[in-house]
Amino acid sequence: MTESLPQADQTAALGQTAPQPVGISCSRGFASWLTRHDVSLAFTSYQSGRLYLVGVGPDGKLSFNERFLARAMGMWADQQRILLSTEFQLWRFENILTPGQPKEDGCDRFYIPRVAHTTGDIDVHEIEVLKDGRIVFVNTAYSCLAFLSPTHSFTPFWKPPFISKLAAEDRCHLNGLALQDGEPAFVTTVSRSDVINGWRARRAEGGCVIDIRSNEIITGTLSMPHSPRWHQNELWVLNSGTGYLGTVDIATGTFDPRVFCPGFLRGLAFHDGHAIVGLSLPRDGSFSGLQLDDELKKRDADPWCGVQIINLKSGDIVEWIRLEGPVTELFAVSAIPGVRQPMALGFLTDEIRNTISIQMPEETMP
């Protein structure tokens, strides 16, 4: 089936032409899967500057909410808040709907952009919220993890042991962060290079998973790894240059490939016994010439751009979204449990000027 996207945010703004529409097809059971598992999804495409929120409308059909933000990339989402990195800012979107009071169109979460922290162009990749509420993010340009600063672009928190200097040189392509018990635990880098853009010559192998608490390099044999996640006492990683989702043995550094997906993998979430994975088309120059090409050829397959849902018990891909047209790369994928139909307010129409909500004084009192 093919879903048409709402046109409200596809108007010209600031002299720009309307973005080219995207063709979206989905597995027949996708809406049913979201309903059964009480979840909605969010994913970003920095290459085309899009944020997608996917849920189920009152009519039982899939709802796609598309919003345009330049270089929409790293993302963290829950029922109340979305954090989103863009070209030179980190945005905080807040839901203004109260439980049990959906909008007229049926959406039960309406996220409004409330606060933007201007970081400058530091290429923010993944974003996480720690158990104490602080926001930590992967500062890829400066090869470090960082916190927001009230007065500066960022506050460095940690850098790989092989990085000798904080410089806007994207030396190792630090790109992913996994929490354990609400604290930063593991990161992924494409290489252990310590020179400007050195990782680009190390895409086929040399990708690292690092335990930031001990500075131990658990493995240095992966191909462009992304999206590390600690889930059910296992460290999951996308070995993106090969097309495999798998786990890394912390003791031995061995990568155990679990499932092959036909694309360059970035973006990983887990929900109710399933992995939700983002796929991108191989990019000429950066993503080509990798093992992924051989894996696709062996399977007589074309690469995908989209999202695939994997049953962790069987390893089967049970549902999927496929995008065609101007969107060729995805980055972040989030599951939002307990939300049926999320929507967000964009910047390209007058809706953002005319959407006013009031928090009454008693709502802030204990």
pLDDT, one tens digit per residue, over 104-158 is 788 999 999 999 999 999 999 999 999 999 999 999 999 999 999 999 999 999 9
Q: Is 200 helix (H, G, I), strand (E, B) or coil?
A: helix
Q: For tokens 């044999």, what's the residue?
A: 221
- 218, 209 Cβ separation under 8 angstroms: yes
Per-residue pLDDT, 13: 32
User: Residue 305: how many CB atoms within 10 A of its CB?
Assistant: 22
pLDDT, one tens digit per residue, over 188-226 is 999 999 999 999 888 889 999 999 999 999 999 999 999
With respect to residue 362, please indicate whether it lies within any of the assigned structural domains. no
With respect to residue 273, please indicate whether it lies within any of the assigned structural domains. yes
Q: Provide φ and ψ at 52, rounded to 5°.
A: -115, 135
User: Which residues have CB under 8 Å from 87's CB, separation 6+?
Assistant: 70, 71, 121
User: Residue 167: how many CB atoms within 10 A of its CB?
Assistant: 13
Average pLDDT of the segment spanning 264-287: 90
Q: How many angstroms separate the CA atoms of 227 and 331, rounded?
A: 9
328 alpha-carbon distance from chain centroid: 14
What's the CA angle centered on 329, arms 190 and 266, to 5 degrees? 45
Q: What is the CA radius of gyration of the chain?
A: 20
- 42, 63 Cβ separation under 8 angstroms: no
Q: Which of 8-22, 190-204, 280-294, 325-339 has the lowest mean pLDDT?
A: 8-22
- 225, 209 Cβ separation under 8 angstroms: yes
- 332, 267 Cβ separation under 8 angstroms: yes
Report how far apart, in Å, the C-alpha atoms of 95 and of each of 73, 83, 100 are. Answer: 20, 12, 13
CA-wise closest residue to 160 among 124, 189, 121: 189
Per-residue pLDDT, 10: 35
With respect to residue 210, please indicate whether it lies within any of the assigned structural domains. yes
* pLDDT at 16 exceeding the cut of 60: no
With respect to residue 253, please indicate whether it lies within any of the assigned structural domains. yes
Give the DSSP letter of residue 198. G
Sheet holding 124-129, edge to edge: 124-129, 135-139, 144-147, 155-158
Burial of 222 (0-12, 13-18, 19+ CB in 10 A): buried
With respect to residue 243, please indicate whether it lies within any of the assigned structural domains. yes
Pairing mode, strands 342-344 and 234-239: unpaired
pLDDT, one tens digit per residue, over 20-53 is 788 999 999 999 999 999 999 999 999 999 999 9
Average pLDDT of the segment spanning 11-26: 63
**Which CATH number do you get for residue 278?**
2.120.10.80
Per-residue pLDDT, 121: 97
With respect to residue 295, please indicate whether it lies within any of the assigned structural domains. yes
Range of the structural domain that residue 130 is part of: 23-354
221 alpha-carbon distance from chain centroid: 24
pLDDT, one tens digit per residue, over 291-324 is 999 999 999 999 999 999 999 999 999 999 999 9
- H-state helical runs in 166-262: none
Q: For tokens 């923010």, what's the residue?
A: 124
With respect to residue 17, please indicate whether it lies within any of the assigned structural domains. no
Q: Is 289 helix (H, G, I), strand (E, B) or coil?
A: coil
The two three-digit tokens of residue 85, written as one number:
């990195």
Report how far apart, in Å, the C-alpha atoms of 233 and of each of 181, 229, 287 are. Answer: 11, 10, 30
- H-state helical runs in the chain: 30-36, 291-298, 351-354
Number of domains comprising the chain: 1
Q: How many angstroms separate the CA atoms of 35 and 170, rounded?
A: 41
Is pTM, for the whole model, over 0.85?
Answer: yes
* pLDDT at 7 exceeding the cut of 60: no
Average pLDDT of the segment spanning 333-351: 93
With respect to residue 133, please indicate whether it lies within any of the assigned structural domains. yes
- 68, 93 Cβ separation under 8 angstroms: no
User: Residue 8: how many CB atoms within 10 A of its CB?
Assistant: 15
